[in-house]
Homo-oligomer: A and B are copies of this chain.
Amino acid sequence: MSSNHELISIEMGLSHDRFEYHLNRLEEWLRFPSVSADSKYRADVMACAGYTAQRLRDIGASVSVAETPGFPVVIGRVMVDPLKPTVLIYGHYDVQPPDPWNLWLTPPFEPSRRDGQLYARGVSDDKGQIYCHMAAVEELLRQGPLPVNVIFMIEGEEEIGSPNLVPFVESHARELGATVALVSDTPMIAKDRPSLCTSLRGLIYFELQLRVLSGDLHSGQHGGTVPNAIHSLVSVISKLKDDSGVIQIPGFYDEVRSLSPEVSESLNELPFDEASYCQTLGASHLVGEPGFHPYARRWYRPTLDVNGIWGGYTGEGSKTVIPAVASCKLSMRLVADQNPDVMIEKVKAYLRQICPEGLSVTVKEPGAMPASVSTEHPAVRAAASGLEIAFGVKPVFQGEGGTIPIVAEFKRILGLDTVLMGLNLPDDGIHAPNERMSLANIRRGIVASMAFLTEYGKSKAL
């Protein structure tokens, strides 16, 4: 980090008037009920795409609205110098459905400021977060040339699984060329504790069906002699993990990257209260691999969970059936450097070994790659610097246990690492009534983005 004086001047540079100006623009954007999941909002989503494009033009970007089979992807480019780094900033202008309406204290599409919060559907997920970067670019452009090149890519289908985004990125790879991607669509670890997420887990998902008889049998007539599909499936499942939670699939951990001493140490500095975590979730105790911090188990270690199971008679009352078939859904979260295709084969081979007969294994989806970025990456360093300026405290490095598929796709298609700079809070109520984002975090987000872009501009383009 360098030149604190310059960075602090950035924070000072966001006057009350300018912040008020940006809140008004954000509120305009939030008034569009851009619900991608419900076809009755179709015209609103399209209108929101148009507003997004106009707003990017107003801040000084050259804009294109790319049609897709669904809702358009809005691209805004501010290219200042090919020798400078280029940041591809991803976000989405669509929002979750607002239901249940009756639980909103103020209407979801009439933004309301109270108690230091801005309330509206989509303010935290994701309009408020992406807006911070739009405002930062606008502010920096008022001061002079941008310190970096910026490409905004703002889609309208994130809340329905981004069905058209990967084909779009693949067919526009040249125009999306950058040195790093930036996504602000994850939460900070806690209030006033900024964090940078440096890893995401991947995913593989199976459905198993085990048939041991041609049809269900009467447990009186045949009980004691014939196999029972549920017991057979239970036997398979019980061989997947040992009692302490260690996955028993041969070679499962071979490609798992060890935690660096830096990351290991940082975990102990994170706020974590096991008793309150258990109480919140209604769990009597935690489980998982011995010797790993709970955050390590949630972020940096692979997992295996049966997600659903069914077989035999499941209606009311009692039926004395020996079930012929039992099924389950089974998924594994992967971490760097586990390759989904390789892992799928390891899982299948083990299942064949422990259950040679009657088991059919279906891979439900193409596996999702895990993703990770080095804490030494210049953009990560610049983001850390920006967050420190804005929040007055060094950010912590964290992982994220879930999957953000586009991050792996940025790596695969564009060769880009991604900075995950979360600006909202875990209790912002995303996907729920009374979604909110604190006015303080919106301000800090703008400042953090200005400082990040400025700092990253000092690094060399690749």
Task: Give, as a whole number of angstroms, the nearest-CB distance from A376 to chain B.
Answer: 26
Pick the contact of A308 from B321, B400, B403 — CB < 8 Å? Answer: B321
Chain multiplicity (copies): 2
Q: Is the CB of B319 within 8 A of A307?
A: yes
Q: What are the residues of chain B within 8 A of A401 when measuring CB–CB?
A: 220-224
**Given the complex of chains A and B, what is the CA–CA distance between A400 and B221 in angstroms?**
7
Nearest chain-B residue to A402 (Cβ)?
A: B220
Q: Is the CB of B288 within 8 A of A224?
A: yes
Q: Is the CB of A284 within 8 A of B358?
A: yes
**Given the complex of chains A and B, what is the CA–CA distance between A210 and B212 in angstroms?**
26
Q: What are the residues of chain B within 8 A of A69 when measuring CB–CB?
A: none
Q: Is the CB of A307 within 8 A of B284?
A: no
Task: Give, as a whole number of angstroms, the nearest-CB distance from A208 to chain B.
Answer: 12
Q: Is the CB of A308 within 8 A of B309?
A: no
Q: Is the CB of B219 within 8 A of A333?
A: yes
Task: Give, as a whole number of angstroms, the nearest-CB distance from A232 to chain B.
Answer: 9
Q: What are the residues of chain B within 8 A of A201 when measuring CB–CB?
A: 220
**Given the complex of chains A and B, what is the CA–CA distance between A364 and B308 in angstroms?**
24
User: Interface size for chain A: under 10, 10 to 19, 20 to 34, or 35 or more residues?
Assistant: 35 or more
Nearest chain-B residue to A426 (Cβ)?
A: B221
Pick the contact of A310 from B228, B235, B309 — CB < 8 Å? Answer: B309
A307-B328 contact, Cβ under 8 Å, with A281-B222, A284-B358? no
Contact with B along A294-305 (1 / 0, CB 8 A): 100110010101
Pick the contact of A324 from B282, B286, B297, B358 — CB < 8 Å? Answer: B282
**Given the complex of chains A and B, what is the CA–CA distance between A317 and B331 in angstroms?**
12
Pick the contact of A307 from B241, B277, B318 — CB < 8 Å? Answer: B318
Pick the contact of A306 from B217, B231, B294 — CB < 8 Å? Answer: B231
Task: Give, as a whole number of angstroms, the nearest-CB distance from A275 to chain B.
Answer: 13
Contact with B along A100-120 (1 / 0, CB 8 A): 000000000000000000000
Nearest chain-B residue to A218 (Cβ)?
A: B402
Q: What are the residues of chain B within 8 A of A215 when measuring CB–CB?
A: 281-282
A219-B281 contact, Cβ under 8 Å, with A205-B318, A234-B238? no
**Is residue A213 contacting chain B, with contact meaning CB distance below 8 A?**
yes
Interface CB pairs A-B, < 8 A, 12: A218-B402, A220-B333, A223-B303, A224-B401, A227-B287, A228-B305, A230-B306, A307-B320, A308-B311, A308-B312, A310-B310, A318-B331
Hey, which bits of chain A sit against chain B, CB under 8 A?
Answer: 201, 203, 205, 207, 212-215, 217-228, 230-231, 234-235, 237-238, 241, 243, 245, 277, 281-289, 294, 297-298, 301, 303, 305-314, 317-324, 326, 328-329, 331, 333, 357-358, 364-365, 400-403
Q: Given A203-B320, A307-B313, A313-B329, list of 11 further CB < 8 A pairs? A: A212-B283, A213-B283, A214-B282, A219-B303, A224-B298, A230-B309, A235-B243, A238-B238, A308-B313, A309-B309, A318-B365
